[in-house]
Structure 1
Amino acid sequence: MPYIFEKKWDKRMVYVITAVHNRRAITSRFIDYLALQDCSEEIHLVMVDDGSTDGTDLLVKEKYKNSTILYGDGNLFWGGALQKAYSYLISKNISDDDVILYANDDSRLESTFVETLISDLKNNPNDLVTGCAYGLNTGNYLDGPVDFNLENGAVKHLEPGSIGNCASTRALGMYGKVFKDIGGFHPILLPHYASDYEYTIRAFKKGHRIVSDSNLKYLFSEDTTGDNSHSNLSLKKILSKRSKLNPFYKMSFFLMIAPFYKMPKFINYQFRHFKKHERDIGKAV
């Protein structure tokens, strides 16, 4: 059964969505950063605990009362977990002017992050706003808006303050009306990697730009991201649901964002840029 904290006031809410699996210490730190937000709005955490066995849910219940905890069996992965959170919020009839923030639990949000996000959304009410991520270890700019070439699948990471057509869900915000318009995720076709890229490209096609703000900053540790380096690959890793190199999910992603006749260009680009096409998390953009 989900652990649910009911909304008490008829006012705009900020819903922060994250998903966790056996990262108790990392999730605890995420809660600490969330509690330090200097924000006039009420922040409500919607956390999907995908089969944790380390007591993460109990810790969150104790540390952050204003939370809803949903449960998976360990097989939801990122796409499935976000879909579960999406379905939950839709069932709660959230308001069009509520704020939704997707965030990884290893994202260290500056204390002004939520308030800055709200300000950015006021100026861009029909758009998605992505934060700009910097490496905890290196200080390098690592993640933000992306220009995804819908002709061949080329990925270009854009500078902070740019407008793109794609982004990760490491720290991605929008109004409730946009959240409803985009729809949910597709965890069977895209259980993990590329689920966020498909989601934001779909949003862009519906008229919602991916806006960034150089003042909307957060940190994450390069050590806590998934390992998809070529030097450590095996067939088992490549075919894992968590692998961004999985050919089945790559093809699903391509077919979801572009017509079939463009697939030769996408596949050709992948072969020619096999090592360069990764997101290179942990390397400077």
Structure 2
Amino acid sequence: MNDSIYILIPVHNRRAITLGCLQDLNRNGDLTHHRVVVIDDGSTDGTGAAIQASFPTVTVLAGDGNLWWTGAMRLGMEYAIAQGAQYLIWLNDDCRLAPGTLDGLVQFCGDHPTAIVGAQGFEQDDRDRLSFGGKRKTWQGYRFLTLSPGQTVSCDLLSGNLVCMPRAVVDAIGYPNPHTGPHYGGDSLYLLRAQKAGFRLWIDSRYSVTNHAAESRLCPSDWLMTPGDPWQLVRLAFNPYSGLSWQLWWRLNWLAYGPWGVVMFLKKYLSLFPLTLLRLLPVATRQRLFRPGQVSSNPLT
């Protein structure tokens, strides 16, 4: 067992998905080679007990349901650093990894001491659709990079689904702050801080990673077509745990772009009012008007 590498997995009420992740890591030999810490944030579906019964080498840290992603990851990172970790790996439980993925990311960090490296992941049901990965900064915002297999290139931002970093990051900037980005965006805020402290972000496409797609009620994938209450988007803009939180996007835009971030922020949120009015129309009508070439029984696809 390598006590210098800690894999940190925040979970909440996704027992089957979480156990599937650990089974995947076990098949790859990662449970034997590295320390695995699951931060179970108040699950009520028996996740913690099931992990302890099936995977006794996995450490389970319990939360009370108020940690969310950033608080859970902070708790896991604090624990790992206290145990002497030299490398920290963020891993979401809906990722499935090819054998050797984690060892490869750690090796890259070992060869490049100021590197933070992530993988790109594709949807489990659509291997051509990129789900997460590295991003390039443009004047309109961050855009995903799509790499050919076998590449490792520098990037401007990473998705937090699967990221490896050295202990030196924590030594330089401390831990993620759950008060500024408690859930969505907590990963981006932390990585932008690390970048400003001199660490370089990389995206690695040498390994096959898939992601189990799921629609979130706190971050709709399509603002216009999402069914439900027309005023949902307005409420989400004032929910600090939402991916549409105005506080989150204000911090992200200012940290990444400075004064130009104000323009990007206004562009994003001035669209909320007309979108909300359009959402008064039935989903089928919106589909015909704004997605006429889209043939699907599911308005979210």
Is 1:154 aligned with 2:122? no
In 1, distance between residues paired with 2:13 and 2:19?
11
Amino acid at match of 1:158: L
Q: 1 or 2 for the larger relative contact order (CA 8 Å, sep ≥6)?
A: 1
Give the counterpart letter for 1:141 in structure 2: L
Deviations 1:216-267 (A, max 9, x none): 33111223666413133603344333321111222233344454x4443332
Q: CA deviation at 1:86?
A: 2.0
List aligned pairs for 1:258-273, cutoff 5 A.
259=258, 261-271=259-269
> Structure 1's 138 and 217: CA in aligned 2 closer, same or farther, altered over 3 A?
same
One-letter code aligned to 1:155: Y
Q: TM-score, normalised by structure 2?
A: 0.77
Q: Which of structures 1 and 2 has the bigger CA Rg?
A: 2
Aligned residues: 262
Paired residue for 1:145?
A: 134
Partner of 1:198: 189
2-structure distance, mates of 1:204, 1:118: 18
The CA RMSD measured in Å over matched residues stands at 2.7
CA distance in 2, matches of 1:67, 1:48: 10
In the alignment, what sits opposite 1:250? 249
Gap change, CA 1:273 and 1:17, over 3 Å in 2 = farther
Query: Distance in 2 between the 1:117 and 1:111 partners?
Result: 12
Match of 2:87 in 1: 99
Closer, same or farther: CA 205–221 of 1 in aligned 2, 3 Å: same
Matched residue, 2:279: none
Q: Give, as a single letter, the amino acid of the residue that structure 2 aligns with 1:24.
A: R
Match of 2:15 in 1: 24
How far apart are the structure 2 equivalents of 1:158 and 1:225?
A: 23
Match of 1:47 among 27, 32, 38: 38
- Give matches, 1:1-285, under 5 Å: 12-38=3-29, 42-92=33-83, 94-95=84-85, 98-139=86-127, 140-149=129-138, 154-160=141-147, 161=151, 162-223=153-214, 227-228=219-220, 229-230=222-223, 231-232=225-226, 234=232, 235-257=234-256, 259=258, 261-271=259-269
Distance 1:212 1:256, change over 3 A: closer
**Which letter maps to 2:101?**
F
Identity %: 23
Alignment deviations for residues 125-179 of structure 1 (CA, whole Å, 9 cap, x no partner): 2201101101101112222111235xx5611211333311211110100222234
Whole-angstrom distance in 2 between the partners of 1:214 and 1:54: 35
Residue 90 to residue 112, structure 1, CA distance change in 2 (3 Å): closer
SS in 2 for 1:65: coil
CA contact (8 A) 2:118 2:203 kept: yes
Describe the SS at the equivalent of 1:216: coil
Q: Deviations over 1:26-55 (max 9, x none)?
A: 000000011122469731111111110011
Relative to structure 1, the CA distance from residue 211 to residue 41 in structure 2 (aligned partners, 3 Å threshold; closer, same or farther) is farther
Q: Distance in 2 between matches of 1:87 and 1:142?
A: 28
Distance 1:36 1:180, change over 3 A: farther
Q: Shift of the alpha carbon at 1:19? A: 0.7
The 1-side partners of 2:255 and 2:196 are apart by 12
